[in-house]
Amino acid sequence: MAYEKFHHVDFTHFSQEKQNPMKITIVGAGLAGVTAAVILRDAGHAVEVFESRDHVGGNCFDEWINGVLVHRYGPHGFHTDNETVWNFLNRFTEFRPTALEVVANTPLGVIPVPFNDVSAGLIGDLSPEHIRDLIFRAYSEKHWGIPWEEVPRSISTRLPERRRSTDCRYHLDRWQGVPADGYTCMFEHMLDGVPCHLGCSPDEWRRFPSDHVVFTGSIDEYFGNTHGRLEYRSLDFRYESEPKRRYFQVNECNHQNPWTRSVDHSHWLGQQVENTVVGYEHPCEWEPGRVRMYPKAFGPNPERYKLYREAASGERNVTFVGRLATYKYLDMDDVIAQVMTKLPYSEAALQ
């Protein structure tokens, strides 16, 4: 995929590499920040990470709850067709080859999604428009918090794929899985030797002078929200101890249940447990104090983001990467590829 180049940092000064290491501040210990830390540390620079949460990993963070490894910010299955990205992460963890499987709880019954030959066998074959209405309408209304008619056409007219197969994996990428010991453990390995300050205030990093900053927070916050806040949807998570479920993830394509999806986390590592932990996701608007989840790339936001991008292009010695700094939903492999594209010495990191 092509990445926008919205700022023009002169990277020639990075090329002094090990003879003249630079002091680099990284804001955020999510996948973008930690990938940048690996690349720059391996190129010989003195890297320091500042993170406002009390843990590393950003939204990929997981932890053990009642003997089950739970993805605390929603289900995160790694999937990619990018061999460079795959090899990069395999330096830090083994992967368990788990493929996410999703069913939709619809008014016509529970069916695998994306809609495939198994779904058709259960409720009959449907037109693309009927599939879209059945699977996406109510779900999107809850997800975005607006009536279907107001969901931007760029989202509502996207026709869901009708798979002519019985393959029930949600993603078809060549490589898929989850770190065998969890994401948090993988991040800790990646950060080996890198000082990482947790629980920082949002502006704490500004007090530490450095030669370069890699910023992975929300770009509006970097500029003090001068052009207005960028809007996001957020999620409230509810966790319940329940008997192990047959289904991995259930999407609620109806208005009876207010949550959008529920996930039995014991499936990630194939745990055979009697009681599991099920996470329920309740969508809500983002407001300070909540976690920014989905950029609302409609309404006033594209114009605001354009202004921030322009401001970013005038910043010297700052690199803006990650989903918050580029105000775009990015899968994990996209984030790693984006950081590799925007920072020099990706090759060094791969050796």
Ligand X SMILES: Cc1cc2nc3c(=O)[nH]c(=O)nc-3n(C[C@H](O)[C@H](O)[C@H](O)COP(=O)(O)OP(=O)(O)OC[C@H]3O[C@@H](n4cnc5c(N)ncnc54)[C@H](O)[C@@H]3O)c2cc1C
Q: Which two tokens stand for residue 311?
A: 């401001």
50 scored as a contact of ligand X (CB under 6 A): yes
340 scored as a contact of ligand X (CB under 6 A): no
β-partners of residue 102 are 113, 249
State how far Cα 183 lies from the chain centre.
Answer: 12
**Among 38-46, 84-92, 299-307, 327-335, the segment contacting ligand X (CB under 6 A):** 327-335
Shortest distance, position 297 Cβ to ligand X, whole Å: 14
Q: Binding ligand X by CB under 6 A: which of 3, 42, 44, 53?
A: 53
Shortest distance, position 203 Cβ to ligand X, whole Å: 7
Q: Binding ligand X by CB under 6 A: which of 17, 21, 44, 74?
A: 74
Q: Binding ligand X by CB under 6 A: which of 43, 293, 312, 349?
A: 293
Respond yes or no on whether the N-terminal peptide bond of residue 114 is cis (omega within 30° of 0). yes
Task: Compute the distance between CA of residue 286 and CA of residue 180 in angstroms, rounded to an integer.
Answer: 32
Q: How many CB atoms lie within 10 A of CB 68?
A: 22
Q: Binding ligand X by CB under 6 A: which of 216, 249, 251, 260?
A: 216
Strands 261-264 and 249-252: antiparallel
Asked if residues 262 and 236 have their Cβ atoms less than 8 Å apart, the reply is no
Q: Which two tokens stand for residue 328?
A: 């775009």
Asked if residues 200 and 261 have their Cβ atoms less than 8 Å apart, the reply is no
Phi, psi at residue 11, to the nearest 5°? -85, 5
283 scored as a contact of ligand X (CB under 6 A): no
24 scored as a contact of ligand X (CB under 6 A): no
Judged by CB under 6 A, the chain residues 75 through 114 that form the site for ligand X are 75-78
Q: Binding ligand X by CB under 6 A: which of 112, 177, 179, 217?
A: 217
Edge-to-edge strands, sheet with 78-80: 78-80, 175-179, 95-96
**Among 67-75, 139-147, 152-160, 253-261, the segment contacting ligand X (CB under 6 A):** 67-75
β-partners of residue 232 are 295
Q: Binding ligand X by CB under 6 A: which of 69, 151, 178, 324?
A: 324
- Nearest residue by C-beta to ligand X? 30
197 scored as a contact of ligand X (CB under 6 A): no
Nearest to 263 by CA among 240, 289, 290: 240
Identity of the residue, 286 or 345, whose beta carbon is nearer to ligand X in the bound complex: 286
Q: How many CB atoms lie within 10 A of CB 312?
A: 21
Identity of the residue, 29 or 120, whose beta carbon is nearer to ligand X in the bound complex: 29
Q: 3-class secondary structure for 164-185?
A: CCCCCECCCCCEEEEECCCHHH
Q: Binding ligand X by CB under 6 A: which of 9, 22, 26, 28?
A: 28
Q: Which two tokens stand for residue 177?
A: 């899985």
332 scored as a contact of ligand X (CB under 6 A): yes
Q: Binding ligand X by CB under 6 A: which of 33, 114, 182, 295?
A: 33
Shortest distance, position 341 Cβ to ligand X, whole Å: 14
Residues forming the site for ligand X (CB under 6 A): 27-33, 50-53, 58-60, 73-78, 200, 202, 205, 216-217, 221, 293, 322-324, 330-332, 335
